[in-house]
Chains A and B, each alone.
Chain A
Amino acid sequence: MSSEPDLQLAAEAAYAQGPPQSVRLLLWRRFLRHRLALASLLVLVLMAAITLAAPLIEAALGLDANRVDLFALLAPPSAAHPLGTDELGRDLLLRLLYGGRISLAVGLAAALGAAVIGTALGLLAGYYGGTLDALLMRLADSVIALPLLPLLIVLVAVDLTKLGLPEGLATSENVSLYRIVILIALVGWTTVARLVRGATLSMRTREFVRAAEALGAGAPRVMLVHILPNVVSPIIVATTLSVGNVILLESVLSFLGLGIQPPIPSWGNMLTGAQELIWTAPALAVWPGALIFVTVIAFNFLGDGLQDALDPRAVT
């Protein structure tokens, strides 16, 4: 007579009663947290969809986002202008949608650029170690430690023609867009680089990596095929969180008149003029900021939720 069936019965009976209250509570709370991340994802998808549909909404309203209407300055919300107009009589809703396109695109592009740079440098530092590692990490430390915003202001103010860029390109309308994406990517890679370096360091001596090396895989193959897939989750988490940060940084620079240059709207530069209009038209100052706030917090919640899901060991 073996006692195995009895044990199984006991286990089944315990399972039928459901997990203990505390675990259920724990799962419920976890779910709650993830629901916040889920809701954030929904908000972001919705936001992206609406801003992408801006031309359609423009057509449906029968308006032109860039048309200045001097007879309808700072008009209150109406059927023609759902959110009213700005200080030049342009439709506020459409400006917000087109500004959102820019802010979201800049956030995604710069965060992805930073992630690519950070991943590459982190892999190299972690895999090769030694002097390269020491140099790269020292560089990362310095970039983190510097007062970023004042230095970015100088970098943004640099005259591109003095760098040898052709006049036509340096003064084209979109140059402020590319410049901000490149600059933020160039200063934003440090977090990802540190995470990837740490993960690579611990992977480097694992059996599967040693096996690949023994079978003759070259360094690029080991890094990209064997190590990279194993360090992907911290990259995803850090990049999601950094999209929010980039959007914030872009909005600050644009607000200060140094980021995205008008007439291209961005949520940040829409607030530049709003400060003088606080007394007459506070609504102008509220809308773009509220959208930045909602977008950034949604990215942060999403990143937090992803961290919970992808990295259960991390304390969040």
Chain B
Amino acid sequence: MTRFLLQRLAETAAVLLLMSFLIYGLIGLMPGDPIDIMISANPDLTPADAERLRKLHGLDQPIVARYWAWLTAALSGDLGYSRLFARPVLEVIWPRLGNTVLLMGISFALALALAFPLGLLAAVRPRSGLDHAINLGAFAGISIPPFWLAILLIILFAVILGWLPAGGMGEEADGLWSRMSYLVLPVATLTLATVGGLIRFLRAAVMEALRQDYVRTARAKGVSRARVVLGHALRNAMIPVVTILALNFGTLFSGALITETMFGWLGMGKTIYDAILGNDFNLALVGLLFATLTTLLANLLADLCYAWLDPRVSYK
């Protein structure tokens, strides 16, 4: 087990390193470079100055040399300054990471709390009216563009009814309740955008488990239907479900990016989007790497859960 864990951690680190090089290269391919931005901000700079500045900051070096310089600095804890915020990148990212965890955590928990009962209900009564209704709802959730859902929610709850703020995060001085009200619409958007896929997957996994021989055996031995569904089918269905939950982490993050951008919620997704559009190279790079790292760790967690849930799997 320890060996497996170490091996997977090493793999994760290798993938992260590879991704850091790829993302570094991609960001280098974005329009303009830091010196272009300096020139546009200061018309007194001559082309000769620009050339000197490029040399000073090492921008005339080949990409591998520049990446190596960045990597050694990054590993010693220096991730550079954010251009948009004029502060060290990590100082910008920490509070935003917290905001994203809050948004994603609540939405994911809500989506799970909705998906489990609905998926189970649909699976135990396949092709009933209830199943069709749940299935339709799930398909609607999968198919609705999340940014449009956000617009609709804003139109309904902020414009027409005026119950909730259309965006932002509230002031420190506001009470807890009024600050919570800023979370309602983003959480609703992200939950609805996530729950459809979860329901479809849970339903399929439980239906598959219910068709297995051990379910028939258990029923034949006189175990109650509820116990068979919850104790036998659901437990076995959890194995594929957990894998999908972890793999969905990347999707959840993408959803969070859209939601945060729509509602002005200052999280990682919005930070990455703003950084890329605002030519904030350092911030974009670190933000993307954080997003990749968390996704990779979620996958690792899924592998561990997999072994824990399924005694047949062993990582010796």
Contacts and interface: CB of A to CB of B under 8 A. Distances in A.
Interface of A: 26, 29-30, 32-33, 142, 144-151, 153-155, 157-159, 162-163, 244, 248, 251-252, 255-257, 268, 271, 274-275, 278-279, 282, 285-286, 288-289, 292-293, 296-297, 300-301, 304, 315-316
Given A275-B151, A278-B151, A147 B143 contact: no
Contact of A145 (B166, B250, B254): B250
A289 B295 contact: no
Nearest to B27: A154
Contacts of B29: 158-159, 162-163
Contacts of A163: 29
Given A155-B26, A285-B151, A297-B143, A278 B159 contact: yes
Given A153-B272, A154-B30, A158-B30, A293 B148 contact: yes
Contacts of B283: none
A315 B207 contact: yes
B204 A154 contact: no
A147 B250 contact: yes
A285 B155 contact: yes
Q: Which of A30, A150, A256 has the most CB of B within 10 A?
A: A150
Given A150-B253, A151-B288, A256-B273, A271 B147 contact: yes
5 contacts: A154-B27, A157-B31, A163-B29, A285-B155, A304-B139
B142 interface: yes
Given A252-B146, A297-B139, A297-B140, A315 B208 contact: yes
B27 A144 contact: no
Interface string B123-145: 00001000010000001101111
A159 B139 CA distance: 37
B79 interface: no
B152 interface: yes
Given A142-B15, A157-B276, A293-B143, 15 more contacts: A29-B127, A144-B247, A145-B250, A146-B19, A147-B288, A148-B254, A150-B254, A151-B23, A154-B288, A251-B147, A252-B258, A271-B147, A282-B159, A289-B151, A297-B140
A154 B26 contact: yes
A154 B108 CA distance: 26
Contacts of B23: 151, 154
A86 to B, nearest CB: 15
A29 B127 CA distance: 7
B204 A147 contact: no
B24 to A, nearest CB: 11
B144 A150 contact: no
A205 B249 CA distance: 36
Interface of B: 15, 19, 23, 26-32, 127, 132, 139-140, 142-148, 151-152, 154-155, 159, 166, 204, 207-208, 211, 247, 250-251, 253-254, 257-258, 261-262, 269, 272-273, 276-277, 284, 287-288, 291-292, 295-296, 299
Nearest to B208: A315
Contacts of B269: 150
Contacts of B15: 142
B257 A149 contact: yes
Given A279-B159, A285-B155, A255 B257 contact: no
Nearest to A155: B26
B203 to A, nearest CB: 8
Top 4 nearest A-B pairs by Cβ distance?
A289-B148, A149-B254, A297-B143, A159-B31
Given A153-B273, A153-B276, A146 B151 contact: no
B151 A244 contact: no
A99 to B, nearest CB: 13
Nearest to A157: B30
B254 A271 contact: no
A150 B257 contact: yes
A150 B208 contact: no
A274 B151 contact: yes
B291 A150 contact: yes
A257 B140 CA distance: 25
A273 to B, nearest CB: 12
A209 B276 CA distance: 51
A144 B247 CA distance: 7
Nearest to A304: B139
Nearest to B128: A29
A253 to B, nearest CB: 10
A292 B273 contact: no
A158 B26 contact: yes
A271 B151 contact: yes
Contacts of A288: 148
Nearest to A248: B145
B163 to A, nearest CB: 15
Nearest to B246: A145
A302 to B, nearest CB: 11
B127 A26 contact: yes
B145 A145 contact: no
Contacts of A252: 145-147, 258
Contacts of B207: 315
A147 B295 contact: yes
A153 B291 CA distance: 13
